[in-house]
Structure 1
Amino acid sequence: MKKYIKLIVFFNIILMMFACGGDKQSTEQSQTNVAPQSKNPFHFYKKVEIRPGLDFEAISWGNSNDSVGGVSILMSDSLHSKFKALSLEREGKIKGFWNLDLDTDGNPELYVELLSNKNQSDLLVYEFEDNEFRKITFPSLPTKFKNDYLGNDKFNIKSGELFRTFTIKSDSLNTPNKEILIQYKIQNNNFSSKQIENP
């Protein structure tokens, strides 16, 4: 009788060992079947509130170095249940996204600042009117500065006006590089610009 009890205890111990090993194996297997977590596909995200219920969001995606890719501007008007999206290609990293009604016509102007070649900036500009995105072409640099342009652009908004500073190389080795200040205005969805002498 004691032999039978010893055998039963022995078999129970063996069964428990197999059961524990099976649980471990199934746990390991279930862990290997878990999908790896992917990185955030959006390299840039920013939300701008125009007024309560009316928001614009900018998102971008692209390849690993983010120098080329896509950008989308999403409009949501929750008060009127209206939604709109604009998608386009971009060259450069998105550095900023903001709203500015430069022509004071009451329609949002959405600015996407792009950074390329580490220190050169440009703007994509869209006005939102009648539930549509309308592109406003941002002017290129004045021709007289193109050959000496060194980048280091900075866009600033002061008292509702848009300014840009950038650096040009000096004419001689003995003088430092010069910083140029440009002011931009919009009339009839067209930009104009003028150089402002730094104080």
Structure 2
Amino acid sequence: MNFKRIVGFALSVVFFTSCAPEDKSPVVVKKPEVKKIMQPFRFHKAIEVKPGLTLDIVSWGRGSNSVGGFLVLRSDSTHLNYKSMASELDGKIVDAWDMDLDSDGNPELYIQSKGEGEGSYLSMYIYEYNESGSNQQIRFPELGSSLKKGYRGSDSIYVKDGKLMREFPLFSTGDSAVKATGEIRKLEYSLRSNSLNVKEIEEAGKTDLKKLKTEN
């Protein structure tokens, strides 16, 4: 085969490739597989507090979806120190996270759960861990009479600017038909001496002025 034939053959291949019909078959994208937790376990989340220190939160139970139990497994692979803690659970765990709300160097573990059905009432389980792995439970305060007025669950818990916040819609009281008022109650929690304090934050109109009320 001489040089002209080689060039002609190459040009014909390029022409055939450019004229070939475009493949418009749909591209199938595989969804990532969701790992299922073996029964009787229902929830698992691993929280790395720092390198070498991990908290595994696991909920479990059989026969009921509204009650059960949970475990906190503390793995300190740096010092080869492994501890566990167990407690009863009301509702289903929604999320778990760690933070140092009082900035004392000992992180707290926050476990949020909610009940089933209308309202989805909130439950919080809070533990502060020291360097040795010992934990102390911190009681999540119940709503006082003034803050509980119009409350019917559907809470939202989040962290903003290093503060623990809580919001929930308000409903009319005293009527046979309970209706949402369209108002939202916002609470802010602070931690001092292993005791949680709560404040209600009310916005005055459309201004930036905020009035704080302390719930004793």
Query: Aligning the two structures, in what range does the TM-score lie when normalised by the shorter sequence?
Result: 0.7 to 0.9
- What are the residue-to-residue correspondences of 1:113-128 with 2, within 5 Å? 113-118=112-117, 119-128=120-129
Mapped to 1, the partners of 2:147 and 2:62 lie a distance apart of 32
Q: TM-score, normalised by structure 1?
A: 0.75
Structure 2 portions without partners, runs of 5+: 1-36, 207-216
- What are the residue-to-residue correspondences of 1:77-96 with 2, within 5 Å? 77-96=76-95
The 1:175–1:66 alpha-carbon spacing in structure 2 relative to 1, beyond 3 Å, is closer
Q: Give 1:123's aligned amino acid.
A: M
Mapped to 1, the partners of 2:89 and 2:201 lie a distance apart of 30
The 1:150–1:175 alpha-carbon spacing in structure 2 relative to 1, beyond 3 Å, is closer
**CA contact 2:171–2:180 (8 Å) conserved in 1:** no
The 1:143–1:51 alpha-carbon spacing in structure 2 relative to 1, beyond 3 Å, is same
Instruction: Report sequence identity in percent.
Output: 35
Aligned twin of 2:74: 75
Question: What does the per-residue CA deviation read over 1:118-157, in whole Å, with 9 as the maximum and x for residues that have no partner?
Answer: 3211210000113211000011112213342111101010
**CA contact 2:90–2:123 (8 Å) conserved in 1:** no
The 1:175–1:61 alpha-carbon spacing in structure 2 relative to 1, beyond 3 Å, is closer
* Matched positions, count: 162
1:174 Cα deviation after fit = 9.3
Of the candidates 190, 196, 211, which is equivalent to residue 191 of structure 1?
Answer: 196
Question: What does the per-residue CA deviation read over 1:13-65, in whole Å, with 9 as the maximum and x for residues that have no partner?
Answer: xxxxxxxxxxxxxxxxxxxxxxxxx9532100001001110000100111244
Mapped to 1, the partners of 2:147 and 2:76 lie a distance apart of 42
Structure 1 portions without partners, runs of 5+: 1-37
Mapped to 1, the partners of 2:181 and 2:123 lie a distance apart of 24
Aligned twin of 1:179: 184
**CA contact 2:92–2:113 (8 Å) conserved in 1:** yes
SS state of the match for residue 168, structure 2?
Answer: strand
Q: Give 2:193's aligned amino acid.
A: N
Which deviates the most, 73-82 or 118-127? 118-127
Q: Give 1:185's aligned amino acid.
A: S
Mapped to 1, the partners of 2:80 and 2:202 lie a distance apart of 47
Q: CA RMSD in A?
A: 2.1
Aligned twin of 1:140: 142
Which deviates the most, 53-62 or 138-147? 138-147
1:177 Cα deviation after fit = 3.4
**CA contact 1:170–1:177 (8 Å) conserved in 2:** no
**CA contact 1:183–1:193 (8 Å) conserved in 2:** yes
Higher helix proportion: 1
Q: Give 1:196's aligned amino acid.
A: I
Aligned twin of 1:55: 54
